[in-house]
Amino acid sequence: MQVHVQLFSILRDCLPAGSERGQATVNLPEGATLADLVSRLGIDRHLGCNAAELTATASWQVLVSGQFELDMGRVLQDGDQVRVFPPISGG
């Protein structure tokens, strides 16, 4: 299955070679989860945390087809759009 991914900030370095504007299409096996995607792209290694910590501890925001998602065990579907945003701070 194919999942469309858009990464922001320092995570753009995790996209496959040739990706443009922080976006790529990633091939995953049927039944793959958000955690599988994070591992496939090396986001966990890049940030030094496991997939479950991405949203819980590292405070990155993950959207799957326009909906915020905290469960890294969520099973992805063909055509899903995944966006990963850095922690947001304000003042």
CA distance 3 to 57: 25
Note whether residue 9 is domain-resident: yes
pLDDT of the residue at 89? 61
Note whether residue 90 is domain-resident: no
pLDDT of the residue at 23? 96
Q: Show the domain range for 65.
A: 2-85
Note whether residue 91 is domain-resident: no
Note whether residue 8 is domain-resident: yes
How many residues make up the chain in this entry? 91
Note whether residue 65 is domain-resident: yes
pLDDT of the residue at 59? 81
52 Rama sector, left if φ>0, alpha if ψ -120 to 50, beta otherwise: alpha
- pLDDT tens digits for 57-88? 778 899 999 999 999 999 999 999 999 988 87
CATH of the domain at 79: 3.10.20.30
- pLDDT tens digits for 40-58? 999 989 988 888 888 877 7
What's the number of domains the chain is made of? 1
What tokens does 59 get? 């405070």
